[in-house]
Amino acid sequence: MTSEIASTTAAQLAEKIANKTAQVGIIGLGYVGLPLAVEFAKAGFTVTGIDLVESKVERINAGDSYIQDIPAGEVQALVDAGKLRATTDFSVVAGLDTINICVPTPLRKTKDPDMSFIVSACQEIAKFVHPGMLAILESTTYPGTTDELVLPMLSSTGLEVGRDFFLCFSPERVDPGNAKFQTRNIPKVVGGVTPACTQLGAQFYAQALEHVVPVSSTQVAEMVKLLENTFRMINIGLVNELAIMCERMSINIWEVIDAAATKPFGFMPFYPGPGLGGHCIPIDPFYLSWKSKQAGIEARFIELAGYINGQMPHFVVEKVQNALNDRGKAVKGSHIHILGVAYKRDIDDVRESPALDIIHLLQRRGATVTYSDPFVPSIRMDQEIMLATDEAEAVAKADATVIVTDHAGTDYKSLVGRSPLIVDTRNALRGVSAPNVIRL
C-alpha cells in the first residue's frame, strides 16, 4: 500500500502503533472484545477494556476469565504484567490512542436493528475523542453505520476525520469454540472512512493478528460480514427445507448430504438442525434486509430463509409429538428431556438457542420438560430459572429424549439402550439404526 499518511497527527499515531506504545482500548468485553483485548496485550500493547458490567471488570482485574476460549491463566499473566486492565469509567478514553468498539447489536422485537449499544458507546467516546485517536467499530451492523451514524457523533467535536482522528469498520469473525481458527489467525478485513484511516487500521491489526485484508471503504467492510453470515443463514435455510421435504418422501437427508459432499468441487455441505442460534446468524441478515428495504429492495432470500429456519423448532416438536403418538402417548403429560441447550456444540452460549423455543413449545403443549447440558448449568425461561438435571437419571425416566445440541464428550450411542425414544436433531447417532431412534 502506498502511504496515505499526510498529517503529522497520523504520522505520530503510526509511530506509536509501530513501536507498540499506543494505548489500546476495547469497548465491550464479551465473546468478541475480551479475546481481542487479550490478543493485543499478548502482542505487547497496554490494553484497557471498558465494560458497563462491574462484575466482568472485577473478574478481569482479578486475573479471571468468563469467556470459555480464554483461559484464566492467560488473563492473570497479562494483568500481572500490567498489560491488561479493565474499567467501567469511560474517561480513560482521553488517554487512549486506539479504540475498538465491540458492543452488542441485537434486533428489536420488530426485527429492526437495535443500535442503542453502539449509540451509547459512541456518545461516551465523543466526550473524550481527541487528536491522534483511531476508532474502529467491530460490532456487526448494516452497511453505512460507520459513516452515517458513528462519524457524525465523533466529528461533532470539530475534529476532522482522516486528519485529526481516524475511523474504520472491521468485522469481527470470531467463532467461539473453534480450536483451529481464533482471533489471531482469522484474517481481519478493515475499511476506513479515508485512505489514511484504512492504512492506520490495517497497520494496527497487523501488529497483533496474522493476516489483514484492507478494503476500500467502511461500507465494503460492513457488507463483507453480512455476506458471510447471510450465506450461512440462507444455505442452512435451504437444507432445512430439504430436510422437511425428505421427511415427507422418507429419504434420509443426512445420507443425501454426505453423498453430495463427495463432489470435489462446487458443493459445500450445510446441515439441517433444530433452528438457528447465537448472536450472529439468526440476527445479522436482518440488519441487511432492514437497510436494503430503505434502498427499495426486498431481501427475499433472507426473509424466506428466516421463515424456514424459524419453523424448525415447531418441526422438531411435531416430530416428538408424532413419535409419541405412534407409541400410544401424547406430549401432554409426558416427560421430555432435552439433551443440550447451547446454540451449538461445545460452547456455553444460549443466546437465541432453538432449545429455548423447543422447551417453551413442549411446555405449552403440557409436557414436563427437563434438560441437561455440561456447559450450561441454568437457563432463564421467561421469568423462571430452570436448572440442569442429572442426564442419566432424566434420560432413564423421560418418555422421550431430544438431542438438540450435540456436544462432544457425550456417549450418544449408549442412549439407545437408556431411553425409550430419542429424537435426534443433529445426527449425533450417525450410523445407528434402532426402532427408538427418530432423526430430523
Ligand X SMILES: NC(=O)c1ccc[n+]([C@@H]2O[C@H](COP(=O)([O-])OP(=O)(O)OC[C@H]3O[C@@H](n4cnc5c(N)ncnc54)[C@H](O)[C@@H]3O)[C@@H](O)[C@H]2O)c1
Question: Which cell numbers in the block locate residue 146?
Answer: 460507520
CA distance 388 to 371: 5
Binder of ligand X out of 22, 24, 27, 358 (CB under 6 A): 27
- Kindly write down the DSSP assignment for every residue of 52-94, as one continuous string: S-HHHHHHHHTT---STTS-HHHHHHHHHTTSEEEES-GGGGG
Query: Of the two residues 29 and 257, which places its CB atom closer to ligand X in the complex?
Result: 29
Query: Is 281 strand, coil or helix?
Result: coil
Query: Of the two residues 47 and 121, which places its CB atom closer to ligand X in the complex?
Result: 121
Catalytic member of 102, 168, 246, 280? 280
Distance in Å, CB of 159 to ligand X, minimum: 21
Binder of ligand X out of 113, 132, 162, 176 (CB under 6 A): 176
β-sheet bridge partners, residue 378: 387
Q: Is position 279 an interface residue for ligand X (rule: CB under 6 A)? A: yes
Q: Is position 276 an interface residue for ligand X (rule: CB under 6 A)? A: no
Distance in Å, CB of 410 to ligand X, minimum: 23
Q: Which of 99, 86, 248, 87 is nearest to 167 (CA)?
A: 99
Instruction: Encode burial over 192-205: b for 16+ CB neighbours within 10 A, e otherwise.
Output: bbbbbbbbbbbbbb
Question: Which cell numbers in the block locate residue 397?
Answer: 425416566
- The number of beta carbons lying within 10 Å of the beta carbon of residue 239 is 19
* Span near ligand X by CB under 6 A; candidates 48-56, 158-166, 314-322, 382-390: 48-56
Binder of ligand X out of 13, 17, 29, 317 (CB under 6 A): 29
* Span near ligand X by CB under 6 A; candidates 45-53, 261-269, 357-365, 393-401: 45-53
Output the CA angle 360-380-69, nearest 5 degrees. 115
> CA separation (Å) from 174 to 42, 182, 405?
17, 6, 20
Of residues 116-155, which lie at the interface with ligand X (CB under 6 A)?
A: 117, 120-121, 139-140
Q: Is position 312 an interface residue for ligand X (rule: CB under 6 A)? A: no
Q: Is position 31 an interface residue for ligand X (rule: CB under 6 A)? A: yes
CA distance 432 to 415: 11
Q: Is 280 a catalytic residue?
A: yes
Residue at grid coordinates 481481542:
36
Query: Of the two residues 172 and 241, which places its CB atom closer to ligand X in the complex?
Result: 172
Q: Is position 285 an interface residue for ligand X (rule: CB under 6 A)? A: no
> Which residue minimizes CB distance to ligand X?
30
Q: Is position 226 an interface residue for ligand X (rule: CB under 6 A)? A: no
Q: Is position 56 an interface residue for ligand X (rule: CB under 6 A)? A: yes
Query: Of the two residues 172 and 222, which places its CB atom closer to ligand X in the complex?
Result: 172
Distance in Å, CB of 124 to ligand X, minimum: 7
Cα radius of gyration rounded to whole Å, the chain: 24
* Span near ligand X by CB under 6 A; candidates 51-59, 194-202, 253-261, 318-326: 51-59
Q: Is position 358 an interface residue for ligand X (rule: CB under 6 A)? A: no
Question: Which cell numbers in the block locate residue 340?
Answer: 443440550
For the window 84-103, what string marks contact with ligand X as x by the rule CB under 6 A?
A: ------------------xx
Q: How many residues does the chain have?
A: 440
Question: Which cell numbers in the block locate residue 10?
Answer: 497520523
Where does this chain bind ligand X (CB under 6 A)? 27-33, 50-53, 56, 102-105, 117, 120-121, 139-140, 172-174, 176, 279-280
Q: Which residues are catalytic?
A: 280
